[in-house]
Every structure is written in C-alpha cells, then in structure tokens.
Amino acid sequence: MLEKVKAAVAQISPVFMDKEATIDKTCKAIEEAGRKKADIIVFSETHIPGYPYWRGANPISRWSQNQVEYMKNAVKVPSEDTEVLGDAAMSAGVVSVIGCTEMSDIKGSNTLYNSILFYGKEGDLLGKHRKLMPTHGERTVWAQGDARDLKVFDTAIGTVGGLICYEHHMTLLKAAMAYLGEEIHCALWDGYWVMDWHPGKKRRFREGDDPYLCDIDYAVREYAIETQNFVLSSCQYIADDEMPEDCQDFNIASGGSSVVNPAGVYLVEPVFNKETILYADLDLDDRRHTKAYLDALGHYARWDVLRLDMRGEPNAPFTEVAEIPYSKVKAVAEKHGVDPDKLEKMLRELT
C-alpha cells in the first residue's frame, strides 16, 4: 500500500431501475473524484441500477414485472457498459469499485448476481466479486457467487478487496480476505437502517435515530480492526420521492457512508440523507500502529492451531476436460511398462 492514499466514498443516488442514466451519474462522480485528486472511489451495493427494494413489497404478479425490468437493467460483464465505466476510471486516473446487479455470463441464462466491479487506474477491469450468500428474501432476486469470487486485487495504490452487506458477518470469509493480503477494504451496503423491534423489520434511518443501533456501524469497525484494513463503507441513498410508490415503505436507502481506519476509528463518521462524496486521507502508519499490537497475518496468528481451508468449484453447467495427446499417454505407458491403448481408455473413463 502507498504511504498516503486519498479515498472517496460515493453516496450518489442511482437513477432507480435505469441502467444508462445511473452509469452516466457514476461516470460523472468518478470524474469529480479525479478532479479532487482521489486515488480510489467506492459506490454502494447494486448502485447500478439500484437495490431491489420492491422484493418484499408486492404481490407475485408485481414482483415478476419488477424482476423482468431488473433483468433489462442488469450489467453484462464484459460489455459496452463496463467499457464506459472503465473509460471513466482511466480518464480520471482513479481506482473505481462499483456495485451492480450483474446478468449471468452463461449463454441463454437470465440469472442475476449481486456483484462488485473493480477497475484499475488505467481503466482495466481487474475482476469482479459476486455476493456469496444473498440474504433472506434476496435469494428470490440473485443467485450465489462461488469459489471464483473469493479474491483481492493488486492496484497502483495497494491491495483492494470488497464484500457486500451481510457478507461482513461471515466469519471465515473475513478471515480469508485478510489472509489473501487485503489492505483497503470496500464495504458495500443497500442503506443504513434501524431495526423496528416490535414489527421485526428494518426501516429507513431518520433524523434523531441513534446511528449506533445499526449493525453496519459494528460491522465496518470490527472488520477494520480484525483485519487491520482501512474500510471504505458506501451505503446507498435514494430519496423517497425518487422511488416508485410500491417501494417507498421498504426504502432503507438513507445513506450512512463512512471511512474507518485500521484501529476501527472513524476518519469520516456516517453521513445521512443526502447525496455527497466523502473524502479521507489514508495514512499507512495507521495500519502499522494497529499491526504493532495485532497482526492477523503474523504475530497474532496461530496457524499451528487454527487454519483456514478455502475450497469449492465454480458454478458451471459443464466442465471442459483438456484432451491429453496420445504421444504423451504412450510415453508414460512405455515408461511404466503399460499398454498405451489400455491407459488411454482408463483416462477417458476417469474424465
């Protein structure tokens, strides 16, 4: 990680269910961050084209209509949409981390994923992360990510990674991100909420509410100190009058974005109920100070007692098996005194 990094967190409202208009706003925010000399900018969970607040609000007929519209506004990776975002990152010279709803890359599929796109300063799409475990009713909207989605990215400013919403409560996943060498963590959320205890549901954060009643506060600060990372926390903001009527009662997009240092201390406290871009200077010495006491990758790890096993296969409809040339089969067979035709037959049966 560079000694000094200027970070930006975009609390920029998407144009709900309008991919093209949201991409346009996203590019303008990246450009603004570039003008302010930011090194990295982070956008919220499913910033493009907005979080599906309608998922629990409607009868099934209305849900289906909304899901179809959501499919039409999902992002294909790669596509012209991702190229436009990459061009903006390159023009601004800013590492850009953008939440989106992604359309499956399997031909003929319309399955959606809750994803993060990672761009380098040169505008190259470094990769993506699909949410491993959609939460509760989200499973009616998005499929699960898989083993390919557990990764971090080396950039010009340091090693950057990201997780989405309740992934920050998956204990082993947090450990994996630390062990992969993450230094700057991007935490993407659908909005800052308050739990109504009697109805047992979330609601929008309002003036006068205690910001420390939301689990986002605990999640981002604990993630920071557990992993000794800077955390750039981007929470979605959408005003009620910008939402369809059947979504307004379920709209928790009140913002609440923040920046936290590796000791779990706010560099920028949560900001609510407005569009803004937050800026903070990340000082590598803050990470060194924390690691002097607690280094998850060194003197505060006990790999002789506890070790993490990362496993899994990609979700795919079929597996391609590489054909082994007969000349190689014959050479191995002759070396071990085996009939080459029989060996080739055995290999085919195994694959």
Tens digit of pLDDT for each residue in 126-145? 999 999 999 988 999 999 99
Distance (Å, rounded) from C-alpha 237 to C-alpha 11? 6
Look at residue 224 in the predicted model and tell me its pLDDT: 98
Selected catalytic residue, list 6, 19, 25, 165:
165
pLDDT beyond 90 at 277:
yes
Residue corresponding to tokens 């391609």 = 320
Which of 20, 183, 14, 158 is CA-nearest to residue 95?
A: 158
Lowest-pLDDT range of 33-37, 65-69, 119-123, 156-160: 65-69
Domain range annotation of the chain: 4-293, 322-351
Q: Which two tokens stand for residue 95?
A: 């590492």
Q: What is the pLDDT of residues 172-196, one digit of tens each?
A: 999 999 999 999 999 999 998 877 6
pLDDT at 200 over 70: no
Helices (runs of H) and strands (runs of E) counted in the chain:
9, 14
Whole-number Å distance between alpha carbons of 321 and 158: 36
Q: Is residue 321 over pLDDT 70?
A: no
**pLDDT recorded at residue 222:** 97
Q: Which residues contact 228 (CB under 8 A, 6 or more apart)?
A: 178, 262, 287, 290, 291, 294, 295, 296
The arrangement of secondary structure in 4-293, i.e. its CATH architecture, is: 4-Layer Sandwich (3.60)
Distance of CA 127 to the CA centre of its chain: 11
pTM of the full predicted structure?
Answer: 0.88
Residues contacting 21, CB < 8 A, separation 6+: 15
Q: pLDDT by residue (tens digit) across 72-86? A: 999 999 999 999 999
What is the rounded average pLDDT of the residues 218-235?
97
Is residue 165 annotated as part of the catalytic site, yes or no?
yes
Report the first-to-last Cα separation within the chain, whole angstroms.
44
Of the residues 131, 138, 186, 247, only one is catalytic, namely 131
* 295: pLDDT strictly greater than 90: yes
264 and 196 Cβ atoms separated by less than 8 Å: no
Give residue 10's pLDDT.
Answer: 98
Q: Which H or E run contains 349? A: helix 340-350
Q: Over 90: is that where the pLDDT of 298 sits?
A: yes
Averaged pLDDT, 51-71: 87
Q: Is the pLDDT of residue 246 over 90?
A: no
**Sole residue written with tokens 């000694």:** 3
Alpha carbon distance 182, 294 (integer Å): 15
Give catalytic status of residue 45 as yes or no: yes
* pLDDT score for 319: 59
- Residues of the chain above pLDDT 90, percent: 72
What is the per-residue burial (b if ≥16 Cβ within 10 Å, else e) of 152-181? bbebebbbbbbbbbbbbbeeebbbbbbbee
> Which member of 19, 45, 174, 235 is catalytic?
45
Mean pLDDT across the chain, nearest whole number?
Answer: 91
